[in-house]
Amino acid sequence: MHHNYILLIFIYIFSLNLYANERYVCKNGDKNSIKLITNFYIIDKKIVMSGALGNGEYKILNRSENGFLAVNSSFIGEEFGLETILINKKHKSFIYKTFINRENNNNIVEVKGICSLAN
């Protein structure tokens, strides 16, 4: 069973590589932790994130020679969630932010790191 799961993940990542215009391999920039890897695949008008930060599709709002700004938002019950990805091509960096609006608590998480173009 475990081998089937690994094979399925491999096929999924391989298929993303076939359709992606660009692929960025990014590591978080926290000096006190293990460097976690996240892949960002640029496919037409969206970014597909896969890796340590999670998985998801993000709509590209701005695309320029400097990089990409993409967003994903959703309602989960009465809560609202918003995630943003900023990939800076010039500085070879990324910023990932997630915001969850809860009744008593608004949580914002930010992760920064470095990226390299993989293809």
Mean pLDDT of 96-119: 84
The answer, yes or no, to whether residue 96 has pLDDT greater than 60, is yes
Tell me the pLDDT tens digit for each residue of 60-87.
999 999 999 999 998 878 888 899 999 9
Yes or no: domain 2-117 corresponds to CATH 2.40.160 = yes
Of 78 and 57, the structure prediction assigns the larger pLDDT to 57
- Tell whether the model's pLDDT for residue 18 goes beyond 70: no
Q: Are 69 and 79 in contact (CB under 8 A)?
A: no
Q: Which long-range contacts (CB under 8 A, 24 or more apart) does 86-92 make?
A: 87/24, 87/26, 87/40, 87/47, 87/115, 89/65, 89/117, 90/66, 92/116
Regarding predicted confidence, which is higher, 114 or 11? Answer: 114
In the chain, % of residues over pLDDT 70: 77
pTM: 0.75
As a whole number, mean pLDDT of residues 86-107 equals 87
